Amino acid sequence: MSRMLTAFALVAAFAVTGASAGATYASTPNTGVVTIGGGKTCGAGHALKGGVGTIDLAWSNFTIVGETMAVKLCYTNAKIVDRPWRKFVGTIDKNKQCWQTAKLAKFLVETMPYAATGSMPIPLPMNTAPSDYTVQLLSKVNGTYAQYGDSKGTSCALTTTIYENQPASLVGTQVFFTVFSLVVLVVSYVIDKKRQP
């Protein structure tokens, strides 16, 4: 009886978590070719700003026919050193190296139509941490990962910066009032010290 309950619990757990919950990179073919930016996002001065930048994504060789595709933004290996909250995990849905936003979103784009070859501009979310990234594209069949590709072998890292929406005049005003409040604090302290016997 206990074996039957255990088997039922395992089947129920698998049904609840989904078929791809345990899919690993090792068991999923890495044969897709993914490129970003066509070379335009490389080098100094070519960083994308969160909220206003767009990733030019292109892919090919996704030969295992899928139903949908998903896009992940993954930190480069250099950006996960000494950061256990970004560690690589072999299970695709648990890989913290590819959780990139403040809300720890697992996908940049979760469902898009399958295409063996294609290209697509993808807007960079506002809350994307400033860092260096690669782009990972995964295809799915019946809720299971069928194939993936990563831009780390074909393109240089994608560098992002914070979208700074404060005008320079506002920054100047903040500096003025910060200095002014410190001057008022010192003057009031000196006056208060002189009044005391």
pLDDT in tens, 108-136: 888 899 999 999 999 888 888 888 888 99
Average pLDDT of the residues of the chain:
81
**Mean pLDDT over residues 10-34, rounded?**
68
**3-state SS, one letter per residue, for the chain:** CHHHHHHHHHHHHHHHHCHHHHCECCCCCCCCEEEEHHHCCCCCCCCEECCCCEEEEEEECCCCCCCEEEEEEEECHHHCCCCHHHCCCCEHHHCHHHCCECCCCCCCEEEEECCCCEEEEEECCCCECCCEEEEEEEEEECCEEEEEEEHHHCCCCEEEECCCCCCHHHHHHHHHHHHHHHHHHHHHHHHHHHHCC
pLDDT at 61: 93
Q: 156: phi > 0 → left, psi -120 to 50 → alpha, else beta; which?
A: beta
pLDDT in tens, 27-80: 999 999 998 876 454 655 568 888 888 888 999 999 999 999 999 989 998 998
Confidence of residue 184 (pLDDT cuts 50, 70, 90): very high
Residue with tokens 């089947």: 11
pLDDT at 8: 46
Structure tokens at 133: 């990234």
pTM of the model: 0.69
pLDDT at 15: 42
**Mean pLDDT over residues 149-163, rounded?**
83
pLDDT at 99: 78
Confidence of residue 103 (pLDDT cuts 50, 70, 90): low
Confidence of residue 180 (pLDDT cuts 50, 70, 90): very high
